[in-house]
Amino acid sequence: MFELQTNMNDETINEIGENHIGTSAKTPLRADAFELSDQEKIEKIQESVKDILLTLGMDLTDDSLQGTPKRVAKAFVNELFMGLNPKNKPKPSTFENNYNYGEMLVEKNIVVYSTCEHHLLPIIGRAHVAYISNGRVIGLSKMNRIVEYFAKRPQVQERLTMQVVQAMQEALGTQDVACVIDAKHLCVNSRGIKDIESSTITAEFGGKFKEKDTKREFLDYLKFDTKFE
């Protein structure tokens, strides 16, 4: 039912993975991605994880490991990759800007927990999202939920940044949205080059945020120390 078809050779596949290249601005999903229920997916993934662990030589009769295949399967479907399912997409409530606030609004330090789609290792960082109202405003927590939704799927950081901006633009009916993400990729930090210090910064600027002064104002806000004790 689910045959993997690709025209790329192993060398090309490895090159894409090692260089963290994204092949699309949209998450690559098959047409039949939602034919199985979540429970059916959990059951299939459980068996696949079991096979992986057995292949690695793990003793699944051990008390600590007996439940691992099911735990991993449930975590994949219900938590780590819940953003693949459109039913989990947040409904961003917007409201009339009755107080006529005309400056940019910036939501800083939104926690990002995502997963690199090349090695299925964690991406951990912070997102900073801003917009300028054209008559509508959005609930602050909805900005966090938009970031979470698009982060909870196999991802590349560039695509995540773009998807957050596009979702905000759609919700607010304006192009004046920006997002900057600073994150560590454990596929870089814990394997391969094993550089534990490096992080990756991506940015997407829409509408007025493409203008030099507006972009600079947004980036200056990100320098503010907003730690509270």
Residue 117 annotated to the active site: yes
CA distances 24 to 29, 113, 140, 229, Å, are 11, 21, 29, 42
Structure tokens at 12: 């090309």
Residue 157 annotated to the active site: yes
The partner residues of 107 in beta bridges, in order of sequence, read 129
Residue 20 annotated to the active site: no
Tell me which of 128, 179, 185, 204 is the catalytic residue. 185
Tell me which of 107, 179, 187, 204 is the catalytic residue. 187
Tell me which of 46, 107, 118, 128 is the catalytic residue. 118
Tell me which of 46, 157, 163, 166 is the catalytic residue. 157
Angstrom distance (rounded) from CA 9 to CA 120? 20
Look at phi and psi of residue 108 and say left if phi exceeds 0, alpha if psi is from -120 to 50, else beta.
beta
Tell me which of 107, 117, 148, 204 is the catalytic residue. 117
Residue 179 annotated to the active site: no
In three-state secondary structure terms, 73 is helix
Burial class (CB in 10 A: 0-12, 13-18, 19+), 21: exposed
Percentages (nearest 5) of helix, strand, coil residues in the chain: 40, 20, 40
Residue 185 annotated to the active site: yes
**Which ranges in the chain belong to alpha helices (H)?**
10-19, 38-55, 68-75, 140-151, 157-172, 186-189, 212-221
- From the list 137, 109, 140, the residue with the least C-alpha distance to 224 is 109
Residue 118 annotated to the active site: yes
Tell me which of 46, 116, 128, 155 is the catalytic residue. 116
Residue 128 annotated to the active site: no
Tell me which of 46, 107, 119, 166 is the catalytic residue. 119
Residues classed as catalytic: 116-119, 157, 185, 187
